[in-house]
Amino acid sequence: MAPPLLLLLLLGLLPGLLPRAAGRGPLRAFVVAHSHMDVGWVYTVQESMHAYAANVYTSVVEELMKGKQRKFIAVEQEFFRLWWDAVGTDRYKQQVHQLLQEGRLEFVIGGQVMHDEAVTLIDDQILQLTEGHGFLYETFGIRPQFSWHVDPFGASATTPTLFALAGFNAHLISRIDYDLKADMQKNKKLQFVWQGSPSLSERQEIFTHVMDQYSYCTPSQIPFSNRSGFYWNGIAAFPDPPKDGVYPNMSLPVTDTNIHLYAQTMVANIKERAAWFRTSDVLWPWGCDKQFFNASVQYSNMDLLLDYINQHSDEFGVTVQYATVGDYFQAVYSRNLTWEIRDSQDFLPYSTEPFQAWTGFYTSRSTLKGIARRASSLLYAGESFFTQYVLKHPASSICKCRALKQLQSLRWAVSEVQHHDGITGTESPKVKDMYVNNLMYGMFNVKKLMASIIFDMNNAKKNGEVYSSIYSEDSGIPGATDVDQYVVVYNPLAWNITTFVTVSVSHSAMSVYDELGRSVPAQVQRSAESHSTYDLHILVAVSGLSYRKYNVKPWNGKQSGFIGRPVKYKRKDITRADQQSRQLLPVVNNCYQVLFDQNTNLMHSITERETNQTVQVTQEFLEYHVNGDVMKGPISDNYLFAPNASAVPVSKAVGLEVVSGNLMTEIRQYFYSNITSQDYIYAMYTRMYTVPEGYDGKLLCHRIEQEYRVGPLEVNREAVLRTSTNLNTGQLLYTDSNGYQIQKRPFKAYMNNTVARNYYPMVQTAYIEDDTTRLMLLAERAHGVSSQRNGQVEVMLHRRLWNNLQWDLNYNLTLNDSSVVHPVIWLILGTKAVTNILYRTSGLALEHRPVVMFGALSGDKPKLPGQLQQNSVHGSPVTVPPNLHLQALSIPGWRYSSNHTEQVRSIRMGKQKQGDADFNRVLLRIRHLYEVGEDPVLSQPAMVNLKFLLKGLGSVMAVEERSLTGTWDVKALKQWKWKTAQYPSRGFSNSTETSDNCIVTVHPKEIRTFFVYFQGQ
């Protein structure tokens, strides 16, 4: 995506006007041909394939075969795989194999997409990389070794760590803050060794190149022509390629009369760029968005130009060559220079001009962000559920190949939406619909698969028995009373959970029983959003990677479920609240006392009962009003946040209803524009739990769950929830980086746009603290977050925008989002020591809430105690130590050999394994949740015996440790070690210790990936 904000400078410079880069010998320019192909953004994937993307690969392959000097880099695998499967002929496929062997076609990054770095979760970044890498390794035996992250809007410190773990030798980024880039450019600091993780430090560092001000596009204007420069194929046309092959804005063909002018322009740009780097090697990207759909006209003109410059290299002081990204980095590496180290500080937020802070997209299209995360979480559950089923029921009645295809449809959709114009919310409405449809289709498939596995394992009779769906907000148990309704709850986490699941029911008299027929604590109350249904909250305790069945029956005299009783309070005018005679309403559980001010119906304070520490806490909804007229000043859009002034409170009156029961209390606050308004515009539902004896209620008790109802907004409004406390925080905010690590966010004052430039992405976590106490916020989707005042944290929940910028209108990128959103945030208050222990597991418990399925299982009588094992998919639960997270347990299905020599030989001989997927290889990924020194106990290395951990799945025969995406044997992985002051010698690094006896020690922040093979497979 290259918006007009980055219109590149007019090049009127001639070679004589620029100083030579001193003392470095002649300049060598590496001309890297590429096409930036957005998997979405303005046009759907299908529209792009038809208009240009298929033609890129067809014509590039044809043209590379015509000239041995020509090269090209390919990036996003989604388009390439669609071309490979549907367009590429056998001849083209053979040529691709040849070009890869010759090093003239290079895959960089190799993921399905070029993922966004601000609002994506680490699990999903790894998924989309693993998907692309698996295809490339299975098909070609190759493993990408360089990144090309040229377009994500700011750069996260998680990405360099992931790319190092995936075996990359160098990382490339482009979009960083404009003033920072100018400073780094001037001081030749655009290249450095980045240690993205403070705990992994030099063990997972990576050399990083920041592109200069021209970014990834060729300079777009040339002094002697009013057409764009060096784009001889012009601009892609939608919806159909022109029949005559004449595209808009095709550059002037290179002729004898203009070749010298072309050469002068190119050389001037090469020299300008060379002055910003330490070596005489110049990376010269040739391409831009949607380029090379007619590679013939591109290469035939550039061939002439490169030959001409090289023939006159003495005169120009420059040589030029076609190159891949690998060629360029190899040249820089061989210079053997000593590089500066950058620590774990990231490059967020990102601004392109003083009033262009790209912090709006942290919240844009909140509904899409929510669906993308729900889909990711369902995929995580479906993968482990299916893996256990295959291992424990080898002779099952479910077709494994079909089941794998169901999982693959969701892998593809979740990977696709991680694109930097996908989950960011920066796409056109039709592309948003494409992402949502693909996610919903994949989710439907995985729900169906999970239901059929339950069905098969319960041997339910097929007569009329259907697992209707997986519970979501809009579905519930039908009102049938003749058949017993079962609720099946699967815990996808590898530790025991105690939590509430909520099911919609049609009446309030309900009882719940477990497999033994014992009554289960539950509470039923009228739903906050619908007057015709009830919410049944069931207290469930489920072991790791296991499921339980609960029987829900109409109440017949024996009352098992508690009833939640509502008390409605009078609506209060908050503008006239009497501060003198304050009446406080307490809501209490074992961990917290929350007080509500009855003069305003707003929260007043929270007391953490163990330490008796009280923090004043008030919460209110506000809106930023933004401008939509470019003639009147800066605008907000999908990407940008540009508030006119401070945020304005949205309501003058608040209604309050408290629903109390033995297990939970729900505080319902309704926000009205004034005291007489009929309809509320915002609502907040706060839940606190009381856990009965005999249940582990630690996590449940220590969280205050909040769900908000926001929208539809008026146009050009940006809605925030502001939480104000009396903590003395010094305006210091902490936010997570992709759910992997925490970044410190001190408030910075700017000449302009200070509010927007102090917004940061919150993917999962944000917190503020003083010397003793911390207030944490955990989220189930990404938001923008900021601390605009001492003791304050505000979360942007929703945006609705329209502007008249012609570029936004042309592409339908104005974000006129009229939806209602229901984001959820959990609050945790306590000492730093206590919150440290709680927030990692609580964040994962929110991310991976249990999967709830329901239906009617006829003829299933309660078991006797002796017959009951935790109704898991297998015999014993899977439980990891409390500082570890089972990040993946899946059957990828790739057919490649994990012996590299064997894999390459079989591809060269044309003997890749065809036919069914490989169901014998299980992918296991384990992550350490803590940083070095973060907690005296949990920051210690954790030892895991993989045989013992997985004994419930079967007998482990062999374990191979692999790189992050599975394509390297870590013993064979030798990465370039770049020279730094810390490590003055250059060479190769091999950073992981492996154990042969299946006992693995996982150190802080490590992510370890294994292939596991079981007996009898």
Beta-carbon-side half-sphere exposure of residue 227 (alpha carbons within 13 Å):
14
Q: Where are the alpha helices (DSSP H) in 860-961?
A: 900-908, 946-949
> Angle at CA 781, nearest 5°, toward 778 and 785?
65
Report d(CA 134, CA 1011) in Å as an integer: 13
Tokens standing for residue 975:
């990465």
- The one-letter amino acid code at 462 reads K
- The one-letter amino acid code at 514 reads D
**Cα dihedral 901, 902, 903, 905 sign:** positive
Given a contact cutoff of 8 angstroms between Cβ atoms, the answer to whether 155 and 180 are in contact is: no
Report d(CA 915, CA 938) in Å as an integer: 46
Coil, strand, or helix at residue 742? strand
Report d(CA 993, CA 971) in Å as an integer: 9
Greatest extent of the chain over all pairs of C-alpha atoms, in Å:
99
The sheet that has 497-505: what strands, in order across it?
497-505, 534-542, 522-526, 561-563
Coil, strand, or helix at residue 618? strand
- The one-letter amino acid code at 994 reads T
Tokens standing for residue 881:
């130590």
Backbone angles phi, psi at 892, to 5 degrees: -65, -35
Long-range contacts from 180-188, C-beta under 8 angstroms, 24+ separation: 180/347, 181/210, 181/212, 181/213, 182/213, 184/210, 185/212, 185/213, 185/276, 186/276, 188/276, 188/277, 188/278
Report d(CA 280, CA 283) in Å as an integer: 10
Beta bridge partners of 538: 501, 522
Given a contact cutoff of 8 angstroms between Cβ atoms, the answer to whether 963 and 164 are in contact is: no
Tokens standing for residue 966:
């599975």
**Cα dihedral 770, 775, 778, 781 sign:** negative
> Angle at CA 373, nearest 5°, toward 371 and 374?
60
Residue for token digits 């250059």?
986
- Compute CA distances 517 → 479, 556, 561, 691, 760, whole Å: 21, 15, 14, 21, 50
Q: Where are the alpha helices (DSSP H) in 811-859?
A: 832-847
Catalytic residue, chosen from 38, 124, 151, 808, is: 151
239: buried, middle or exposed (CB in 10 Å: 19+, 13-18, 0-12)? Answer: exposed
Given a contact cutoff of 8 angstroms between Cβ atoms, the answer to whether 984 and 339 are in contact is: no
Q: Is 151 a catalytic residue?
A: yes
What's the chain's Rg over C-alpha atoms? 29
Neighbouring residues of 807: CB distance < 8 A, sequence distance ≥ 6: 3, 4, 813
Beta-carbon-side half-sphere exposure of residue 699 (alpha carbons within 13 Å):
21
Tokens standing for residue 408:
């693959």
Report d(CA 587, CA 606) in Å as an integer: 10
The sheet that has 704-710: what strands, in order across it?
565-573, 653-660, 664-672, 682-689, 704-710, 824-831, 773-779, 765-769, 732-737, 741-746
Report d(CA 74, CA 438) in Å as an integer: 24
Q: Where are the alpha helices (DSSP H) in 105-152?
A: 122-140
Tokens standing for residue 1005:
């922040």
Residues noted as catalytic: 151
